[in-house]
Structure 1
Amino acid sequence: MFSSPINQFRLMGFLEGLSLLVLLFIAMPLKYVIGYPEAVTYVGSLHGVLFIMYLATIAYVTFKIRWSFIWVSSAIAVAFIPFGNLVFDTKVRKHHI
């Protein structure tokens, strides 16, 4: 199922995007509203690891299927936008699958 580079990228994009949403909409309110800063520490660390893995997956896909600069820069840019990976995933699925 996740044997193709595009499907591996889509999975990593989903996981990285989900970790960003958890960080922004669950961990940050827990820190600032309830006063539980450890939530950001743990979720932020996990998000950081997933972000590095996401960048590595982008590099792998770029070399494996010769992604253009537009695809690479778009993949990196959407990682900083909440729900960006979900929107980008629809474009990737439409164009590459």
Structure 2
Amino acid sequence: MLPFFRVIALLEGVSYILLLFIATPVKYFMNEPKYVKLLGMPHGILFIMYIILAVIVGSNLKWNNKTMRTVLLASIIPFGTFYVDKKFLKQ
């Protein structure tokens, strides 16, 4: 389960960065919302998968509450999932 979670964490992080730093500026500065629509749904699905897998992996690895909060909070901070991968998921 851990390797799958690492892949989802990577994809969620990349999709969030693309959405935040590419699609959103293009939407507001160039008046072109199609990239937000294109990236929004995949990012949403990856976000939900990340949260679910974080809870499953956290319970399997017996993470304490602080670690679990950090991993979950990382999903809403840009580049947060990369930090989680480096700090908690690499073995």
TM category, shorter = 0.7 to 0.9
Residue type of the alignment partner of 2:46 = L
Which position in structure 2 is the counterpart of 1:24? 20
Task: Identify unmatched segments of 5+ residues in structure 1.
Answer: none
Match of residue 13, structure 1, among 9, 12, 21: 9
| TM-score after normalising by structure 2 | 0.87
Q: What secondary structure does 2:9 align onto?
A: helix
Q: Name the residue aligned to 1:85.
A: 81
Please state how far the C-alpha of 1:61 moved relative to its aligned partner: 0.6
Distance 1:43 1:11, change over 3 A: same
Q: Identity over the aligned pairs, expressed in percent?
A: 36
- How many aligned positions are there? 91
Q: TM-score, normalised by structure 1?
A: 0.82
Match of 1:41 in 2: 37
List, as ranges, runs of 4+ consecutive aligned residues in structure 1 with deviation greater than 3 Å. Answer: none
1:40-70 Cα shifts (integer Å, max 9, x gaps): 1221111111100111111221232222212
**Structure 1 residues 39 and 53, CA, compared in 2 at 3 Å: closer, same or farther?**
same
| RMSD over equivalenced CA pairs, Å | 1.5
Kindly state the Cα deviation for residue 81 of structure 1 after the two structures are TM-superposed. 1.0
